[in-house]
């Protein structure tokens, strides 16, 4: 057993019994490489990564391969989810060596100073498909290290200098943030729409990328071109329906898998990630708000219910992910045969389920069936000769029975670490859903998670930590829920994305509960970011000024599967400007976004979250302050207008009476005619205060 048995990452612990002499990333490992004059073999992956497991089984568990690694290298294993700074730096290096290709597992060869001189991704044990074997790669690397050391260091230095330049390569002369920029971004984003299967491209694999759909959906409230508005809404709603009817959506248990390997959203990589489901649930919630289509509400609620049922720890924090594999086979937990459905279900229910989910004898995935919904339910009911209501009843029954039956299977491994940023996304989504759907359980889940993060991943000085590993023995002790913070469990400095996403969650939680504590914490964390993460040009780095010194200080500006910390921080800065009146927040948001204007115009699909923040700046935040006793039906009616409607630029504050002054947005607001009153302002201009839901709705719509 190697050193990884004591790691705080379940992914690293999966490698604890490898014959490889693994180290975690540490000064100890880097110093040992210097002392022994060996290159570093850096392997980066994550728990739910299928090909990470394949390479582990083929190479890292093989004694002969491990012997070469131990003899010639200092071997370091990193969980990309715990260390996004290392992942970002060395992924950019990998893409340099592979001409733009990257992924996980990531395999990078470094000098003892941490500078990369060769990199790739998965390397097979046996030759094939034109790929060198892992042993061949190691042999070539060690030959270069021993016989062409000067060339190795030259390459390492060139790549490192390129990384350092790229981290600071912002176009300060970029064009302005404007309505024209947003409209052009919309047009470019939808131009490659797949009219057959949905999605913003016609290629494969297909990733959900919820930030891009969120931006497009929000712009249907602002675009002046009526035809473009209608087309944009059609693109989004068609794509969301195709995704939720595909195999990428878990038709039995709810929630989305990571991505689809095909154009049709049929065959997924079966891992489930917290960040995907936190964002997609919120997206489907918004789609229901804007369309009223109950389908979108059902998918949102099924996804939320999945998160609460399977991904929330009893301590409150949300787990990170579940694997694609179980019992050594990808997708085994999720697929079905015709015989299994007929054995589990009453005959008439089985026939409905088989037709509805297109289950066949030959299957659609290695002889078995990924459940999906390729036809309209009305067409299926007509084909079966039964009323649509009967079909819906059959499918609801089948879901319950098959879910219970599936629990008898060996489940995929779950990564039990709690990540601050990902929990921030879940808190934000659940808090918003709680007020939109009037779900008390969602509100309590969001509060529970926020309390866990603030109590367990917040240090005595108020600074955040990134990751906490929940151990089974920590959950229940003498019948009580407990969590004990230790160096092994709560680790790593919080990154910009941790602060930004948690602030977003706290702002949503404030708007659901109007508990000032959440707003106070959001402002405190914002001030921490301004103190420790600021860059020379007014933007922000991903790491704090007192973070471990790496070969480059990462600064990720693009939105990928996760929104970049800069994008989310720009959004919350715009919202906090409205709540507090602090114009330096607005200036910081502009400093983040303005240099990206040209890139956002040309490559909008890489900046979905950032474009949403631009929308707030260009059209202005709708500031809604409601004054009135919380138990007054009139107050409730005014709040319901903001809660139920889809107003993507609106934020709301509430004061129980005229004496409350926090947040500043409610200060000096008075009751009109002695009745609960709503105030709507935007970009320093206020409308007349109103007392009725109809008047408030009209003001929000006209803005």
Summarised one tens digit per residue, pLDDT across range 534-563 is: 999 889 999 999 999 999 999 999 999 999
- What proportion of the chain, given as a percentage, has pLDDT over 70? 96
Distance, in Å, from the CA atom of 369 to the CA atom of 362, rounded to the nearest integer, reads 8
Alpha helix positions (H), 375-533: 377-384, 388-406, 420-437, 440-456, 472-475, 496-513, 516-532
Residue 316 backbone phi and psi in degrees, to 5 = 120, -40
Q: Please tell me whether residues 348 and 207 are part of one structural domain.
A: yes
DSSP string, 624-673: EEEES-TT-HHHHHHHHHHHHS--TTEEEEEESSTT--SSGGGTT---BT
Whether 184 is covered by a domain: the verdict is yes
Whether 548 is covered by a domain: the verdict is no
Domain finish residue from 375, 397, 414: 414
SS3 at position 329: strand
- Give the pLDDT of residue 471: 78
Q: Are strands 106-110 and 325-326 parallel, antiparallel or unpaired?
A: unpaired
Q: Please tell me whether residues 104 and 226 are part of one structural domain.
A: no
Summarised one tens digit per residue, pLDDT across range 389-398 is: 999 999 999 9
DSSP string, 258-314: SEESSTTS-SEE--EEHHHHHHHHHHHHHHHHHH--HHHHHHHHHHHHHIIIIIB-T
Cis peptide before 205 (omega within 30 of 0): yes
Are 567 and 607 in contact by the 8 Å Cβ rule? The answer is yes
Q: Which of 141, 124, 81 is nearest to 271 (CA)?
A: 81
Distance, in Å, from the CA atom of 189 to the CA atom of 68, rounded to the nearest integer, reads 48
Structure tokens that stand for 564 in this block = 């970049």
Q: How many helices (H) and strands (E) does the chain have?
A: 27, 21
Q: Are strands 677-682 and 685-686 parallel, antiparallel or unpaired?
A: antiparallel
Are 307 and 255 in contact by the 8 Å Cβ rule? The answer is yes
Are 79 and 548 in contact by the 8 Å Cβ rule? The answer is no
Whether 557 is covered by a domain: the verdict is no
Residue 173 has pLDDT above 60, yes or no: no
Residue 478 has pLDDT above 70, yes or no: no
Summarised one tens digit per residue, pLDDT across range 297-316 is: 999 999 999 999 999 999 99
Distance, in Å, from the CA atom of 537 to the CA atom of 45, rounded to the nearest integer, reads 33
- pTM, two decimals, is 0.94
Distance, in Å, from the CA atom of 383 to the CA atom of 351, rounded to the nearest integer, reads 11
Average pLDDT, integer, range 426-441: 98
Locate tokens 């229940």: which residue? 476
Residues 6+ apart with CB under 8 A from 571: 504, 589, 609, 612, 613, 616
- Give the pLDDT of residue 473: 65
Residue 151 has pLDDT above 60, yes or no: yes
pLDDT tier for residue 127 given thresholds of 50, 70 and 90: confident
Q: Which helix (H) or strand (E) holds 162?
A: helix 149-167
Q: Please tell me whether residues 109 and 219 are part of one structural domain.
A: no
Distance, in Å, from the CA atom of 80 to the CA atom of 59, rounded to the nearest integer, reads 20
pLDDT tier for residue 195 given thresholds of 50, 70 and 90: very high
Q: Please tell me whether residues 281 and 365 are part of one structural domain.
A: yes
More reliable by pLDDT, 173 or 579? 579
Distance, in Å, from the CA atom of 360 to the CA atom of 414, rounded to the nearest integer, reads 30
Residue 199 backbone phi and psi in degrees, to 5 = 110, 160
Q: Please tell me whether residues 261 and 203 are part of one structural domain.
A: yes
Q: Please tell me whether residues 394 and 303 are part of one structural domain.
A: yes
Q: Please tell me whether residues 16 and 66 are part of one structural domain.
A: yes
Average pLDDT, integer, range 672-698: 94
Domain finish residue from 380, 414, 448: 414
* φ/ψ bin of 414: left (φ > 0), alpha (ψ from -120 to 50), beta (otherwise): beta
Locate tokens 């935007």: which residue? 682
- Give the pLDDT of residue 1: 74
What value does the mean pLDDT of the chain take? 94
Q: Please tell me whether residues 155 and 204 are part of one structural domain.
A: no
pLDDT tier for residue 204 given thresholds of 50, 70 and 90: very high
Paired strand residues for 686: 681
Q: Are strands 74-79 and 22-23 parallel, antiparallel or unpaired?
A: parallel
Locate tokens 């600021």: which residue? 534
Q: Which of 576, 595, 596 is nearest to 586 (CA)?
A: 576
Q: Please tell me whether residues 53 and 189 are part of one structural domain.
A: no
Distance, in Å, from the CA atom of 531 to the CA atom of 522, rounded to the nearest integer, reads 14
SS3 at position 137: helix
* Maximum distance among all Cα pairs of the chain, rounded to whole angstroms: 87
Residues 6+ apart with CB under 8 A from 71: none
The CATH number given to whatever domain includes residue 38 is 3.40.30.10
Q: What Å distances lie between residue 256 and 265, 278, 378, CA to CA?
A: 11, 10, 24
Whether 551 is covered by a domain: the verdict is no
Lowest mean pLDDT among 159-173, 258-272, 493-507, 587-601: 159-173
CB atoms within 10 A of CB 95: 14
Domain finish residue from 414, 440, 470: 414
Structure tokens that stand for 360 in this block = 């066949």
Q: Which of 168, 165, 114, 34 is nearest to 551 (CA)?
A: 114
- Give the pLDDT of residue 339: 97
Q: Please tell me whether residues 147 and 203 are part of one structural domain.
A: no
What range does the domain containing 679 cover? 620-703
Structure tokens that stand for 116 in this block = 């990369």
Distance, in Å, from the CA atom of 105 to the CA atom of 374, rounded to the nearest integer, reads 33
Distance, in Å, from the CA atom of 531 to the CA atom of 544, rounded to the nearest integer, reads 9
In the chain, the number of structural domains is: 3
More reliable by pLDDT, 163 or 128? 163
Q: Please tell me whether residues 121 and 199 are part of one structural domain.
A: no
Distance, in Å, from the CA atom of 530 to the CA atom of 605, rounded to the nearest integer, reads 28
Q: Please tell me whether residues 93 and 191 are part of one structural domain.
A: no
Alpha helix positions (H), 168-225: 179-190, 210-219
Summarised one tens digit per residue, pLDDT across range 319-363 is: 999 999 999 899 999 999 999 999 999 999 999 999 999 999 999
Whether 10 is covered by a domain: the verdict is yes
- Give the pLDDT of residue 480: 62
Between CA 396 and CA 403, with CA 402 as vertex, the angle to 5 degrees is: 90
Locate tokens 């009223």: which residue? 292
Whether 433 is covered by a domain: the verdict is no
Distance, in Å, from the CA atom of 487 to the CA atom of 349, rounded to the nearest integer, reads 53
Whether 81 is covered by a domain: the verdict is yes
Structure tokens that stand for 84 in this block = 């996004």
Are 691 and 676 in contact by the 8 Å Cβ rule? The answer is yes
Residue 149 has pLDDT above 90, yes or no: yes
Residue 167 has pLDDT above 90, yes or no: no
Q: What Å distances lie between residue 1 and 6, 68, 190, CA to CA?
A: 10, 17, 52
* φ/ψ bin of 479: left (φ > 0), alpha (ψ from -120 to 50), beta (otherwise): left
Paired strand residues for 45: 79
Whether 671 is covered by a domain: the verdict is yes
Distance, in Å, from the CA atom of 21 to the CA atom of 1, rounded to the nearest integer, reads 8
CA-based Rg of the chain, rounded to a whole angstrom? Answer: 26
């Amino acid at each position: 057993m190697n050193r990884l048995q004591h790691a705080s990452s379940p992914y690293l612990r999966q490698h604890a019994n490898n014959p490889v002499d693994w180290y975690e990333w540490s000064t100890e490992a880097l110093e040992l490489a210097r002392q022994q004059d060996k290159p570093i073999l850096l392997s980066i992956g994550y728990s739910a990564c299928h090909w990470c497991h394949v390479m582990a089984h083929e190479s890292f568990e093989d004694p002969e391969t491990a012997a070469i690694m131990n003899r010639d290298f200092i071997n370091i294993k990193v969980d990309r989810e715990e260390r996004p700074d290392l992942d970002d730096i060395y992924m950019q290096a990998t893409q340099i060596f592979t001409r733009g290709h990257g992924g996980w597992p990531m395999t990078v060869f470094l000098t003892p100073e941490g500078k990369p001189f060769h990199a790739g991704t998965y390397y097979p044990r046996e030759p094939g498909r034109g790929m060198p074997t892992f042993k061949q790669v190691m042999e070539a690397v060690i030959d270069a290290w021993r016989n062409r050391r000067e060339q190795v260091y030259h390459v390492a230095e060139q790549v490192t200098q390129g990384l350092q330049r790229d981290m600071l390569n912002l176009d300060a002369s970029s064009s302005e943030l404007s309505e024209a920029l947003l409209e052009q971004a919309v047009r470019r984003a939808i131009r490659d729409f797949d009219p057959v299967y949905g999605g913003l491209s016609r290629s494969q694999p297909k990733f959900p990328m919820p930030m891009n759909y969120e931006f497009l959906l929000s712009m249907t409230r602002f675009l002046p071109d009526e035809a473009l508005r209608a087309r944009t809404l059609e693109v989004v709603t068609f794509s969301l329906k195709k995704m939720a009817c595909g195999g990428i959506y878990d038709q039995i248990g709810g929630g989305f898998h990571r991505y689809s390997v095909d154009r049709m959203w049929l065959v997924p990589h079966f891992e489930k990630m917290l960040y995907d489901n936190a964002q997609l649930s919120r997206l489907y919630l918004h789609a229901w708000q804007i369309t009223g289509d109950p389908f979108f509400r059902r998918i949102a609620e099924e996804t939320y219910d999945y998160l609460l049922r399977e991904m929330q720890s009893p301590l409150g924090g949300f787990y990170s992910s579940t694997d694609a594999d179980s019992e050594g086979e990808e997708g085994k937990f999720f697929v079905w045969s015709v015989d299994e459905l007929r054995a589990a279900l009453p005959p008439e229910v089985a026939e409905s389920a088989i037709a509805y989910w297109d289950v066949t004898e030959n299957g659609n995935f290695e002889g078995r069936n990924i459940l999906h919904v390729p036809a309209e339910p009305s067409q299926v009911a007509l084909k079966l000769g039964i009323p649509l209501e009967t079909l819906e009843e059959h499918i609801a029954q089948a879901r319950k029975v098959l879910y219970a039956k599936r629990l008898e299977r060996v489940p995929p491994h779950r990564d039990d670490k709690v990540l601050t940023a990902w929990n921030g996304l879940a808190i934000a989504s659940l808090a918003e859903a709680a007020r939109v759907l009037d779900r008390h359980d969602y509100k309590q889940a969001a509060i529970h998670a926020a309390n866990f993060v603030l109590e367990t991943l917040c240090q005595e000085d108020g600074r955040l930590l990134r990751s906490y590993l929940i151990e089974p023995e920590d959950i229940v002790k003498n019948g009580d829920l407990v969590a004990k913070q230790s160096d092994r469990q709560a680790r790593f400095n919080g990154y910009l994305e941790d602060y930004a996403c948690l602030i977003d969650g706290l702002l949503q939680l404030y708007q659901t509960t109007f508990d000032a504590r959440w707003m106070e914490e959001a402002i405190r964390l914002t001030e921490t970011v301004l103190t420790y993460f600021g860059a020379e040009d007014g933007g922000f780095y991903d790491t704090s000024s007192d973070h471990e010194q790496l070969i480059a200080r990462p600064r990720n500006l693009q939105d990928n599967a996760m929104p970049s910390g800069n994008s989310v921080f720009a959004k919350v800065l715009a919202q906090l400007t409205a709540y507090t009146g602090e114009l330096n927040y607005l200036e910081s948001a502009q400093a983040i976004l303005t240099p990206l204007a040209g890139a956002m115009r040309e490559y909008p699909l890489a900046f979905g979250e950032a474009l949403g923040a631009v929308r707030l700046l260009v059209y202005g935040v709708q500031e809604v302050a409601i004054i009135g006793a919380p138990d007054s039906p009139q107050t409730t009616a005014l709040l319901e207008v903001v809660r139920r409607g889809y107003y993507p630029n609106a934020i709301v504050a509430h004061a129980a009476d005229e004496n409350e002054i926090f947040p500043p947005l409610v200060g000096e607001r008075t009751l009109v005619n002695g009745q609960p009153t709503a105030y709507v302002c935007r970009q320093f201009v206020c409308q007349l205060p109103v007392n009725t839901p109809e008047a408030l709705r009209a003001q929000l719509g006209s803005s």
